Amino acid sequence: MNTFLSAAQKSLQEQYLKFVNEVVAPHAADLDAGKACSKDMLTKLAQAGYLGITVPKELGGQGGDLLDAVLFVEALAGHSAGLAMALASHYSVVEAISRYGAELKTRYLPLLARGEMIGAQAFSEDKAGSDLSVCQTSFSGAGGDAKITGSKTWVVNADMPALFAVLAKDENGFKVFLVDSQNSSLSLSERKSTMGFRSARFFDVEFKGAKVSAEALGGDGLVIAAAALDLSKVLVAGAALGLMNVGIKLAAERANNREQFGAPIAKYQGVQWKLADFSTESAASQMLTYRAAWSHAGEPTEFRKYAAMAKSYASRSARLHSAEAVQIFGVMGISCDEPLERIYRDAKLTEVLEGTSEVQKVILKEQLGV
């Protein structure tokens, strides 16, 4: 399954898996249950340099591309999809600044690479999810003196020393501004109970005339937000891959070890076919996701197409086959003591976060000119 990676990328993948297995995997259950602190884990990721994967080397990062980030998220998500989502939000802010930040790159990317600030994407609102054009958050004033008023929902990393990328509008159009979380004119409210991705921690953020940290990123705010979201979609697809990788391993082990009617259930054709389909869908999802990551360096419309394909296909595959894995486990599959139960919940969220599967199909329809 790794024939699409260069030798350097395979080496990176092995490095990522080793780190995750040693540092994150032992705490997977506690992270999901809220007994281990996701802030502490993000600090460890920062110390290892993984918050700067896509930041240029000259600005303190690793100088990697989107595929490098996907490989890390894939390794991470099977043990903590919530942490993977936190990284997706962080990397999307890095993307926005890298593409549209001009001189802001030298000011903020080193801080983001070191983990002194964590990127927090703040685009969505109660009535502005996939359709960001109906965003109600507004700004007044010009340049670095602008102030933002409004509320954002489902913001990850908001409780960290965060750098918010905030979509706001005035009578002339939309802009994306950077706001420091230490700003006294904002407040947080945590959404404490979610179906999955529990270690991510989601917040509602209210901006009460909050002064921006710098002038707006250059360009149309809706275009900037769309570019950041497209990158996030590919990372969520990578998270779906990570969930499938662990899910199929657990299901195969269970099928070989669980006996019914005098034989391991792996001997029964019905179970064999489930595992065969799981393996095929996982490989197909991987090819689409890696293809999307490769296209990031090309035309934005091409990247958007493959991002939508990868997100919808990989997330659907993860959800369907984690459900089949539960069937293979039998009643133990619904036990909260088993990691598969967490994978099942997390897999469903990959179909919803960063744009539902239905929205991805609308994007693909538009690409066909329909």
Nearest to 118 by CA among 82, 174, 160, 71: 160
Q: Which domain holds residue 331?
A: 222-367
Q: Looking at residues 251-264, what average pLDDT do you find?
A: 88
Report the pLDDT value the prediction gives residue 102, as an integer from 0 to 100.
Answer: 86
Nearest to 164 by CA among 105, 113, 70, 96: 96
Q: Are residues 109 and 60 in the same domain?
A: yes
| CB neighbour list of residue 69: distance below 8 Å, 6 or more residues apart | 53, 54, 87, 91, 235, 238, 293
The more confident residue out of 94 and 255 is 94
For residue 2, being part of any structural domain is answered with no
The more confident residue out of 259 and 250 is 250
Report the pLDDT value the prediction gives residue 368, as an integer from 0 to 100.
Answer: 81
Q: Are residues 202 and 244 in the same domain?
A: no
Q: Helices then strands (H, E): number in the chain?
A: 11, 9
pLDDT confidence tier of residue 2, bands split at 50, 70 and 90: low
pLDDT at residue 155 is higher than 70:
yes
d(CA 80, CA 190): 19
For residue 46, being part of any structural domain is answered with yes
Report the pLDDT value the prediction gives residue 358, as an integer from 0 to 100.
Answer: 92
pLDDT confidence tier of residue 192, bands split at 50, 70 and 90: confident
- pLDDT tens digit string along 121-146? 999 999 888 888 999 999 998 878 89
Q: With beta carbons less than 8 A apart as the criterion, state whether 62 and 68 touch.
A: yes
The more confident residue out of 337 and 88 is 88
Task: Find the Cα–Cα–Cα–Cα dihedral 321, 323, 329, 330, rounded to 10°.
Answer: -150
- pLDDT tens digit string along 199-255? 888 999 999 999 898 888 999 999 999 999 999 999 999 999 999 999 999 999 988
Q: Are residues 271 and 317 in the same domain?
A: yes
Q: Are residues 294 and 187 in the same domain?
A: no
For residue 252, being part of any structural domain is answered with yes
- pLDDT tens digit string along 343-370? 999 999 999 999 889 999 999 998 887 7
pLDDT confidence tier of residue 98, bands split at 50, 70 and 90: very high
For residue 107, being part of any structural domain is answered with yes
d(CA 202, CA 192): 7
Domain boundary among 220, 244, 277: 220
Report the pLDDT value the prediction gives residue 215, as an integer from 0 to 100.
Answer: 85
Q: Are residues 363 and 264 in the same domain?
A: yes
For residue 181, being part of any structural domain is answered with yes
CATH number at residue 55: 1.10.540.10
pLDDT at residue 311 is higher than 60:
yes
277 DSSP 8-state letter? H
pLDDT at residue 194 is higher than 90:
no
The more confident residue out of 336 and 297 is 297
pLDDT at residue 60 is higher than 50:
yes
d(CA 311, CA 361): 10
Number of domains in the chain: 3
Report the pLDDT value the prediction gives residue 193, as an integer from 0 to 100.
Answer: 81
Q: Are residues 73 and 142 in the same domain?
A: no
Length of the chain: 370
pLDDT at residue 330 is higher than 90:
no
Report the pLDDT value the prediction gives residue 1, as an integer from 0 to 100.
Answer: 44
For residue 143, being part of any structural domain is answered with yes
pTM higher than the cut 0.75: yes
Question: Considering the chain, what percentage of its residues have pLDDT values greater than 70?
Answer: 99
Q: Are residues 137 and 101 in the same domain?
A: no
Domain boundary among 114, 131, 158: 114
Mean of per-residue pLDDT scores for the chain: 92
pLDDT confidence tier of residue 332, bands split at 50, 70 and 90: confident
d(CA 192, CA 122): 18
Q: Are residues 171 and 272 in the same domain?
A: no
The more confident residue out of 214 and 59 is 59
d(CA 197, CA 48): 22
Q: Are residues 176 and 251 in the same domain?
A: no
CATH number at residue 127: 2.40.110.10
Q: Are residues 100 and 128 in the same domain?
A: no
Report the pLDDT value the prediction gives residue 10, as an integer from 0 to 100.
Answer: 93
Q: Are residues 123 and 104 in the same domain?
A: no
CATH number at residue 321: 1.20.140.10
Q: Are residues 152 and 110 in the same domain?
A: no
